[in-house]
Structure 1
């Protein structure tokens, strides 16, 4: 049965006006590539090059909550996403990023969220920065998001082998968690080469997410979900925040009704200016304005993916 599309022409036009008015170059180029009349991968790459650091990492505000010229691991997922969308996440480009990641990784292959080099620059209060000289400690939050697109594209690198093993162990040992860590674990599982293991691990992760109430199953009943420590009031994750596409392993975590309520809520919360709001801690007006275009683009991608699946 075909249902009415959520990403209507009116909604897309409003989002386009927002992105052309308020978007950064990287989001405008991604939008033009993904939703324009003709794909434009070269435009995406040109915009991404402005954020490339000499060491092979990415900086200069590509991740809006991470400022300054020093490459940081948590910025890499945004760069890899753009490269993958542009069809340019190849062995040569990925190899340079992996070389840098290998330099900053812990011995077990995991990478931290941030490095001591971030300390001189503006950063949100919720992002801990290691002391100078501290040994790196890998985190699933950053490593899972980085490893996933590299695995999807069949990249080979010694660091990636170690990082994949790190993620597998971290997922198997995951207990008390929070939405962003669970989301990173899910991104890894969706791309993990051992699909049978990934399905079993994803089922366990889904039980954790529901048992710990770190998903809002009914937007009309926010009191039924738990907000993780350090999160902003109302910083909930809905089913589609985990299952960003219909083929995600997280799709099995939710009933059709639960997913439908969340997607309807996503469509309905487009703002009068055409964009979508951010829900995490607002620590800087500038980073809020720079983050909204990315949030808006992700909303469009999610809505289109589910519209296509139900067509």
Structure 2
């Protein structure tokens, strides 16, 4: 399985995902991952240039900052969060992060990205989770954490991606007792997929991204094992995995497939399906 995925990535992936795979499975250096991410950094400390495939163009955007932080987590490079925090303090000083900033208007982006400068739980929760996972201590993160707690506590109607963001936040936030109580409540929510493409949605392993995830309790053993079986069978003939949302422009097809491939392998390894 890993060999077939390796062949797919050498054929189709960006240098970034190739370096990520090498570090995760072939003993490649963490610093090589960091260098690949830094190629997307702007002078303002943020990230652009399609680091997150659905938001093209050069301007620093929240989706790119999130992806950078997540990859720094994979590389165990918490020091790299400093420039992102500088950018977040300048652009989102109240601790609430928009899906997209109006500075990206005029550049290509997926039609589901709203570049309206309006903060929300969707991205704030994931950025806060990534910073907590890196062990960061910063006043901006304190504000973002307070924002997430306020909105997660009140969450009554949601969609799959927002619920996943909340689950990611609860997995990493330091107040574990509070996180467990809120996770139990969120497990009863039924996220709406209204407006989604046919077949688009999230599977159990995408909420419970590791066996210790609080969202693991949302699913029975049978449900999770069935989901992991399907993930394992999802490897395509060319060695890569697919993703279940539209590719808004052709170049993103293989960019997202490469990300999905490494994500699938890491998930299967975390759950003991591969070594």
1:163-200: per-residue Cα shift (whole Å, max 9, x none)? 01001111011111111100111110001111000001
Q: 1:113 aligns with which of 96, 99, 105?
A: 99
Please tell me whether the aligned partners of residues 240 and 259 of structure 1 are also in contact (alpha carbons under 8 angstroms). Answer: yes
Correspondence list, 1:246-285, <5 A? 246-285=211-250
What is the CA distance between 1:149 and its match in structure 2? Answer: 2.1
TM-score by length of 1: 0.85
Q: Does 1:103 align with 2:95?
A: no
Partner of 1:64: 53
Please tell me whether the aligned partners of residues 197 and 246 of structure 2 are also in contact (alpha carbons under 8 angstroms). Answer: yes
CA distance in 1, matches of 2:2, 2:119: 39
What is the CA distance between 1:95 and its match in structure 2? Answer: 2.2
Partner of 1:54: 43
Q: 2:25 aligns with which of 29, 35, 60?
A: 35
What is the CA distance between 1:42 and its match in structure 2? Answer: 1.5
Q: Which secondary structure state, in structure 2, belongs to the residue aligned with residue 266 of structure 1? A: helix
CA distance in 1, matches of 2:88, 2:249: 28
What is the CA distance between 1:298 and its match in structure 2? Answer: 0.4
CA distance in 2, matches of 1:75, 1:98: 13
Stretch moving more, 282-291 or 182-191:
282-291
What is the CA distance between 1:229 and its match in structure 2? Answer: 2.2
Q: 2:254 aligns with which of 285, 289, 294?
A: 289
> Structure 1, unaligned stretches of length 5 or more?
1-10, 131-135, 215-225
Please tell me whether the aligned partners of residues 62 and 75 of structure 1 are also in contact (alpha carbons under 8 angstroms). Answer: yes
CA distance in 1, matches of 2:44, 2:13: 27
Partner of 2:209: 244
CA distance in 1, matches of 2:66, 2:87: 14
CA distance in 2, matches of 1:288, 1:51: 20
CA distance in 2, matches of 1:18, 1:51: 23
Q: Does 1:234 align with 2:199?
A: yes
What is the CA distance between 1:119 and its match in structure 2? Answer: 0.8
> Structure 2, unaligned stretches of length 5 or more?
none
CA distance in 2, matches of 1:302, 1:202: 21
Q: Which secondary structure state, in structure 1, belongs to the residue aligned with residue 199 of structure 2? A: coil
1:243-273: per-residue Cα shift (whole Å, max 9, x none)? 1110110111111100000000011111111
CA distance in 1, matches of 2:62, 2:51: 12
Q: Does 1:176 align with 2:141?
A: no
Partner of 1:14: 4
Please tell me whether the aligned partners of residues 73 and 133 of structure 2 are also in contact (alpha carbons under 8 angstroms). Answer: no
Please tell me whether the aligned partners of residues 206 and 250 of structure 1 are also in contact (alpha carbons under 8 angstroms). Answer: yes
Structure 1 segments, 4+ long, off by >3 Å, are none
Q: Which secondary structure state, in structure 2, belongs to the residue aligned with residue 47 of structure 1? A: helix
